[in-house]
Structure 1
Amino acid sequence: MEPADYAELATLFAGTIRQHGPEHYTPAQVEAWAAGAHHSHFVQELAFSHGWVAWHGEQRVGFVTLDDSGHLGLLYVAAGKVRGGIGQALLEQAMLQARELGMSRLEVEASVFSLGLFLKLGFTLIGVERVERGGVAFERHRLERLL
């Protein structure tokens, strides 16, 4: 992941949320979540984490971030490419790199939409928490995986 990727990744992030979020979330939740692409925290997550981008030809089709503490911050796949194996490949790459960096444990907060993928790849649910984005409440799932 390079700084030149950030604007396209923000567009991918918001587009995926707006297209697939309504399957599980209210319109207010979808818009509050998608608006995160325009917050400084989004760029900070990209800039200060290890990150990998999946490409299809010249198009960015997914990305994942991992910080030095073993926290997976972002895992998103382009709206038209969801459920095609890209998210799994990105997550497997992040797990491989985490091992190479000497990490023994990963943690993540997952939406309802991505929960199944994390469980499929051996993550364990350790709790559900309530958070707010733009004044809108969400539930998210806390998971961990030993490496």
Structure 2
Amino acid sequence: MKQSDRSQDLREYINSQIAIRLFEERDAEQIALLFHDTVREINIRDYSSNQVRAWAPDNIYFRDWVKMCSSRFTYIAYDMGIIIGFGELEANGHIDCFYCHKNYQGCGVGKQIYRVIETKAVELSLNRLFVEVSITAKPFFQRMGFSIVQKQEVTCRGESFVNYVMEKSL
């Protein structure tokens, strides 16, 4: 069996097993770890070690995950009880955190989370979605139909980062 056939089979299996639901308080630790590990192991491709350590500090609770995830529409993708991705939609159309587990990159998890977010945005009668994305996430959001509004430099915990403001009309 060719590698591409195995990859397609894995994507189809994962897509058939994934369930998506709204955030629950019990999800906070898994989400914090998923965020940390994804930034440290995936985003390192596009950012320096210092940048990823500033972005995802050693203290995974640098952010009050329960408070933040509960204050917006946070969708959790999970497979057999393990959280494999999450995305946050604010009521104004801003997508905040959007991450897929480091072991589930390129398997369609993000696409499924995005579809749920877009469906919710339409239910809320929003006319656009907007997001600030990393260099790493830019191609994904372009595939989802987002356009680059501007490239920008932001600072986080003393480190400067390039990211992109993107938007999509609904």
Work out the CA distance in 2 between the residues paired with 1:144 and 1:118.
9
Identity among equivalent pairs (%):
27
1:130, 1:140 within 8 Å by CA — same for their partners in 2? yes
1:45, 1:73 within 8 Å by CA — same for their partners in 2? no
Work out the CA distance in 1 between the residues paired with 2:142 and 2:60.
26
AA at the equivalent of 2:96: G
* Paired position in structure 2 for 1:30: 52
Work out the CA distance in 2 between the residues paired with 1:93 and 1:145.
15
Identify the match of residue 50 of structure 1 among 73, 82, 89: 73
Per the normalisation by structure 2, the TM-score is 0.82
Work out the CA distance in 1 between the residues paired with 2:137 and 2:129.
16
CA positional deviation for 1:45: 2.8
Write out aligned runs for 1:1-147 (5 A): 1-35=23-57, 37-40=60-63, 42-147=65-170
2:128, 2:169 within 8 Å by CA — same for their partners in 1? yes
Q: Secondary structure at the match of 1:40?
A: coil
2:96, 2:131 within 8 Å by CA — same for their partners in 1? yes
Q: What is the root-mean-square deviation in Å for CA atoms of aligned residues?
A: 1.3
Work out the CA distance in 2 between the residues paired with 1:139 and 1:41.
25
AA at the equivalent of 1:33: W
Work out the CA distance in 1 between the residues paired with 2:38 and 2:96.
16
CA positional deviation for 1:43: 4.4
Work out the CA distance in 1 between the residues paired with 2:129 and 2:60.
24
Q: Secondary structure at the match of 1:107?
A: strand
Per the normalisation by structure 1, the TM-score is 0.95
Work out the CA distance in 2 between the residues paired with 1:14 and 1:146.
30
Unaligned runs of at least 5 residues, structure 1 = none
Higher deviation after alignment, 88-97 or 40-49 = 40-49
Higher deviation after alignment, 42-51 or 110-119 = 42-51
Work out the CA distance in 2 between the residues paired with 1:21 and 1:66.
21
